[in-house]
Structure 1
């Protein structure tokens, strides 16, 4: 019985570690997405009205583009 209980404990610990790993990966991904959007917003905001027009955007489009919602 002791071996079986140890095996179940190791499986449970591995499951918890896997879930923690997934949470950490999701957090890192969210931070990367936020930073990408921040950089995009910053770069587009530095363009002139004429430059934005050249690429088919207006100032009102910047947030949507940064979020990835622009088609």
Structure 2
């Protein structure tokens, strides 16, 4: 089983956005790739579609939390 990974780092905050997700098989990576147009710089690869989607959702949650911490510090 593979472990998910990000493909990019930059994130813009979209308040209260409800992302729409896309999960497709990547022949290049031989894994499932989850993406969202709400955060085009974020994606997640995993061994199953469910793992890819869950990984992307966690990544988005982490990115939103980090943005909120940075905004609170300023």
TM over 0.5: no
TM-score normalized by structure 2? 0.37
More strand, by proportion:
2
- The structure whose RCO (Cα within 8 Å, separation 6+) is larger is 2
Q: For the pair shown, which has the larger CA radius of gyration, 1 or 2?
A: 1
